[in-house]
Chain A
Amino acid sequence: MRFQFFDANARIGPVPDFNPRHFYTADELLREMDLFGVEEAMVWHAWTNRWDIPMGNEQLLRELDGRDRLHPVWTVMHHYTGQLPHGPELVARALDAGVRMVRLFFGIWGSSEEYMPWAYEDLLAALEQVRMPVMIEWENHPPVWNDLAHICATYPRLPVILTHSKLTQWERNWYPLLGKYPNFYIETAGYQGWRGLEGICRLFGPRRMLFGTRCPTYQVGQAMSMVARTLRPARERQMIAADNLRTLLQEVGC
Chain B
Amino acid sequence: MATDRFIDMCGTDAPLADCLVIDGHCHVDLWIGMYAIDRHIEGILEVCDAVGIDKICVNYAACPQMRLGNDRVADCVRRYPDRVVGFCYINYFEGGEEVQQAELKRCFDEFGFKGIKVINVNESYPLACRYFELDDPLQPTWEFAQQRGAPILCHGIVTGEIARRYPGANFIVAHGSAVPDFCISMAKLPNVYCDMSATTMIAGTLELLCDKIGPQRILYGSDLPASDPGQRLGMVMAAHISETDKELILGRNMQRLLDNVR
Contacts and interface: CB of A to CB of B under 8 A. Distances in A.
Interface of A: 1-3, 5, 17, 19-22, 35-38, 166, 168-170, 172, 190, 192-199, 202, 215-231, 234, 237
Contacts of B35: 169-170, 172
Say what secondary structure dominates the interface of chain A: loop
Interface residues of B, number: 46
Interface stretch (B42-50, B78-86, B103-111): B42-50
Contacts of A231: 46-47, 50
A168 B34 contact: yes
A219 to B, nearest CB: 4
Interface in B1-46: 1-2, 7-13, 33-39, 43, 46
B235 interface: yes
Contact of B228 (A35, A196, A237): A196
B11 A36 contact: yes
A224 B2 CA distance: 14
Contacts of A192: 199-200, 227-228, 231-232
B203 A218 contact: yes
29 contacts: A19-B202, A19-B203, A19-B204, A22-B203, A37-B10, A37-B11, A166-B199, A168-B226, A192-B200, A193-B228, A194-B36, A194-B226, A194-B227, A199-B36, A217-B202, A217-B203, A218-B200, A219-B238, A219-B239, A224-B11, A225-B233, A225-B237, A226-B230, A227-B230, A228-B11, A228-B12, A229-B50, A229-B230, A229-B233
Given A1-B12, A37-B11, A195-B38, A223 B231 contact: yes
Given A226-B230, A228-B11, A193 B237 contact: no
Contacts of A229: 13, 50-51, 229-230, 233
A166 B240 CA distance: 24
A215 B226 CA distance: 23
